Structure 1
């Protein structure tokens, strides 16, 4: 059966395993579907473990004929935490103003993703990234072009400060304390989700609360989120570099995204030759369950263009 055609059989799901990279980092990862199928690499965004790519969505893609890989970026979930790199909120504010350096950058995170593909003996994958994960995916397509079959960049941007800006009232949300206890963390996460989420596609509070508890239990650390923020805020403008991407590219953005303004998606699509742009009315900065089929259709169609 060709990739893109829905399958009815049960999806094979691997245990969570660890890839030990030459850099010394361990990346926790999990796969769905048949390893003989073309691979889709899912890259999550700032502070998010791989479970923010819900198993339901991964299985949906696997039933469409793909071998799906999700993983915890460094400083998230069960992957290596770089606690020795101390970052404060004042450092983040300085970076927001264009000053300071980060412990690591988007290029390093893209190297991690390439290292994971090496570990899994995957020559090339259809790469999908959301938010910071979109920045990583774009960089992977530039710096490791032979590893990317197609690119789907969701609610992300090019690194140019004049596009994809954060709404002023969201800055306080991003820098606020996440809670001192597990229940407090979950409550704060639910409230933040209401600020950043999709007005037209709301998430049930109970679902959001359970997801937050899972995030906390997987090994959430506030300092890791700050290091991710530093990587995003100190990234270079990729606009010119994106012009070298030749693989089929789909850009997806929401009209109500307060964390990364939709101008970031438009700039990404403009910078990559042949890229198509899908703007979704009422979508904010999240992956609503109501849109899983829409996202899957876009990924499948982009992968088909690569053939």
Structure 2
């Protein structure tokens, strides 16, 4: 049995398992809740392992009657690393300026997610994506429309360069060295994370430090983060294609997001017919524990619209 607080219903949690995909990649994944419940696929963002969807969050969602699936994208956590595709700092800067090509794109990451559903024997799921994961979720909704029951896009954007832009301060932070040792990585993660964090919903330093150590220990590699960054910086503008999305859609964005400006959330909501937009005052580019119930309520309400 899985995580639960006193007086709360415990939630079944699977071991971490591996899906061997047709493209040769292995994706590490884990589930929460009853497999007979409606599936929710959680897609994490740039450089983040599946544990950035905390167990507490997943358990809360499972208690609302969902079978929750979290997984490590390629190049994160315990999933396959594509080290044979090196990316230099110059490559990232060129992509930021609108030039260059990436080792793989968001469409490849969306194909991975669809292949994971195949492996699990799931025809379709409610799909929730955060940041780059929101971009993957949107791409899944346009490239694999039959696999998506509802869409929740959190602090993400459409790929249009005139919206959802990165604050220059954050870009400098993302290009800075991440540390040579485990303690250095954790210390820098805590410090740099504050640049993007929610000013109204602070995360204690000890919590952020523990999460950074877990991220490092799961198999963090700098080159994987760079390849993710290249996929984001070279993404196409999905605005027109998002107009074909017909599933219930919820867009969530913080008013203090420096990594993906709030205009990206507004553009996403405008592009998808019938989408609802929730802007949260004081939220930056993270998933504060203080807002878990807000996110879960929004996901559950969007799933209910699909029924």
Give TM-score, length-normalised by structure 1.
0.97
Q: Does 2:101 align with 1:107?
A: no
**2:232 alignment counterpart:** 232
Instruction: Tell me which residue corresponds to 2:279.
Output: 279
* Deviation, structure 1 residue 9: 2.9
Q: Which residue of 2 aligns with 1:64?
A: 64
The aligned residue for residue 16 of structure 1 is 16
1:13-66 deviation line (CA, Å, top 9, x unaligned): 000000000000000000000000000000000000000000000000000000
Is 2:200 aligned against 1:200? yes
Cα distance in 2 for residues equivalent to 1:46 and 1:124: 24
State the Cα deviation string for residues 198-253 of structure 1 (Å, max 9, x = none): 00000000000000000000000000000000000000000000000000000000
5+ long unaligned stretches in structure 2: 1-6
- Counterpart of 1:4 in structure 2 is none
Which whole-Å deviations, capped at 9, do the CAs of 1:107-155 have from their partners, x for residues lacking one?
0000000000000001100000000000000000000000000000000
Equivalent residue runs for 1:1-307 within 5 Å? 8-307=8-307
Off by >6 Å, runs of 4+ in structure 1: none
Give the structure 1 partner of residue 4 of structure 2: none
* Aligned mates of 1:117, 1:236 — CA distance in 2: 24
| RMSD over aligned Cα atoms | 0.8
Separation (CA, whole Å) in 2 of partners of 1:8 and 1:211? 24
Distance in 2 (CA, whole Å) between partners of 1:8 and 1:64 is 12
Secondary structure (helix, strand or coil) at the match of 1:77 reads: coil
**How far apart, in 1, do the equivalents of 2:193 and 2:201 lie?**
12
Q: Using the alignment, how far apart are the partners of 2:171 and 2:24 within structure 1?
A: 33
Secondary structure, counterpart of 1:158 in structure 2: coil
Aligned equivalents of 1:10, 1:168: Cα separation in 2: 44
Unaligned runs of 5+ in 1: 1-6
Partner residue in 1 for 2:3: none
Matches of 2:124 and 2:188 in 1, distance apart?
38
* Structure 2 SS opposite 1:19: strand
The alpha carbon displacement at 1:8 in A equals 4.7
Give, in whole Å, the separation in 2 of the partners of 1:63 and 1:294: 14
SS of the residue corresponding to residue 149 of structure 2 reads strand
